[in-house]
Structure 1
């Protein structure tokens, strides 16, 4: 029997989503379309009568901005929002800033798919010569983390995302859910995928096939032990959702004019 409802939300489209670049820990605001996605998500959740008791986000602006817009559209701006780097997007290391389609042309679609979607394959690490290294590691937000800045990742597999996310899930988010709050996690494609893998027991192989489009809330109904009692549900127009999933999956493919 369903006892708890948990909502996972990949933030609305950001500027680099639109440009098909690995954004990762580079801080980006939402694109105009991303703002609309977040607002429409909030309106849909309001129409369906959902009420949140607590919202969790990463410390990246696109995640926070999405949560604000969703809550505003729901008329629930007062709901507490808690932020943690442990919900950040996966750290893509040296791949940050690169165009996925161009990489598929240079390295092959299969290699790009492994870098993007596999469970335990780690991209090359970022170093001080990288054009975005200073922007990321001199950012004041990373002085607020619960680990020293020098211990923050320089690259991550999805497995490593789950490893740094689980302590926060267990120690901070679970108590909120078990206290009876309906929780929204407004985060990123890979932090949400990592948590789905944990909650649903998805295999290392099958997680490659799990795709989350931007701005589409995922409803999980959980029992008292926080195990799913039914399959996850992506809320909204199902035809639009399937088209959005296909668009995400196509990001790592060579574009036709380059073939």
Structure 2
């Protein structure tokens, strides 16, 4: 069995391969034989091996490489790997933070500037959202935040159909007293089986102004590729009548720090489904990237990124790989224990 996944620079590109018999749960940690985590500006390499066991588990090799030319200086030293002593001896509260860039949209497919135009997912985007859900199906989710745009909401909803807990994501309508009253759930048992979904325009994609709806190639032919690159990739130069990345970051990070971070501090596990630029902004905040580093950050559509919030710090874990969880480095002991509980529930 083999898996290959590309995630963003700073989050990384990793490849794993293994045969049948992959051990699961907390037993994974006892089999971690070696961890190598050289980290320098321009590259991050993670390697780990699982020694063969009586369960006939073959040796597994993982590599992790980040291609951003800048350093990632916000995560603590264990953000880039797992050691056999990864968990503290005493229990400690931690919360999972999952970030997902929406799947491919119909305008992504047509190579059009989308920005804040509300365009749904393409058929490929639906597939990407479902695959994203498989990757996070073992990770607890207590609350979901999405942008106000349908492609981000579709991605979150489709992803959660794959979660093993089978809770139903339910959009909270708070725009008026009537909306609140009409969407009220009167069964406490049903409430326990739902996940609240909050939508926020602050998590929207960067507003591309007069570029929205234009073909990217035709725009480059008209204005020149260098000018279009400045509009798309500079930190503080906006497209005509649009937002710069700095402007997008101001609203997205403010919302994250004021609304999302308190939930994590309270021990709630959070999923955010949003967009390339709003998520780049949040990652800039989490990893303390510079303005130069963040403009070089690329996020693939439909690939989840996992952070753990613990003792007031965000620890980057990588990209979870779903049911087989070949990348054991992506899970902490608490997350592995949660997955074990899901396995036991199926057997009962």
Same fold (TM over 0.5): yes
Q: Which residue of 2 aligns with 1:58?
A: 147
Among 212, 233, 236, which residue is 2:318 paired with? 233
Q: Which residue of 2 aligns with 1:33?
A: 124
1:211 Cα deviation from its structure 2 partner = 0.5
Kept in 2, the 8 Å contact 1:6–1:184? The answer is yes
CA distance in 1, matches of 2:135, 2:253: 29
Higher helix share: 1
Kept in 1, the 8 Å contact 2:98–2:305? The answer is yes
Deviations 1:197-248 (A, max 9, x none): 11111111111210111111111233322333x4x624459xxxxxxxxxxx
The structure with more radius of gyration: 2
Deviations 1:124-173 (A, max 9, x none): 11xxxxxxxxxxxxxxxxxxxxxxxxxxxxx2111111111233212211
Q: 1:204 to 1:167 in 2, by over 3 A?
A: closer
Q: Structure 2: any 5+ residue segments left out of the alignment?
A: 1-77, 80-93, 169-193, 323-348
Aligned ranges for residues 114-153 of structure 1 at < 5 Å?
114-125=230-241
Aligned ranges for residues 105-254 of structure 1 at < 5 Å?
105-125=221-241, 155-228=242-315, 230=316, 233-236=318-321
Among 159, 170, 182, which residue is 1:70 paired with? 159
1:36 Cα deviation from its structure 2 partner = 0.8
Kept in 2, the 8 Å contact 1:90–1:157? The answer is yes
Q: Which residue of 2 aligns with 1:254?
A: none
Kept in 1, the 8 Å contact 2:265–2:309? The answer is no
Tell me the secondary structure at the aligned position of residue 314 of structure 2.
coil
CA distance in 2, matches of 1:28, 1:73: 23
Q: Which residue of 2 aligns with 1:44?
A: 135
Q: Which residue of 1 aligns with 2:333?
A: none
Q: 1:235 to 1:120 in 2, by over 3 A?
A: farther
1:194 Cα deviation from its structure 2 partner = 0.6
What's the C-alpha RMSD, in Å, of the aligned pairs?
Answer: 1.8
With normalisation by structure 1, the TM-score equals 0.74
Tell me the secondary structure at the aligned position of residue 206 of structure 2.
coil
1:81 maps to 2:197 = yes
Count of residues paired in the alignment: 204
Kept in 2, the 8 Å contact 1:117–1:207? The answer is no
1:17 maps to 2:133 = no
CA distance in 2, matches of 1:83, 1:124: 27
Q: Structure 1: any 5+ residue segments left out of the alignment?
A: 126-154, 238-259
CA distance in 1, matches of 2:208, 2:289: 22
Kept in 2, the 8 Å contact 1:118–1:207? The answer is no
CA distance in 2, matches of 1:202, 1:103: 30
Kept in 2, the 8 Å contact 1:216–1:236? The answer is no
Bigger relative CO (Cα 8 Å, ≥ 6 apart): 1
Q: Which residue of 2 aligns with 1:147?
A: none
With normalisation by structure 2, the TM-score equals 0.56
1:17 Cα deviation from its structure 2 partner = 0.5
CA distance in 1, matches of 2:196, 2:114: 27
CA distance in 2, matches of 1:18, 1:112: 19
Higher strand share: 2
Kept in 1, the 8 Å contact 2:264–2:309? The answer is no
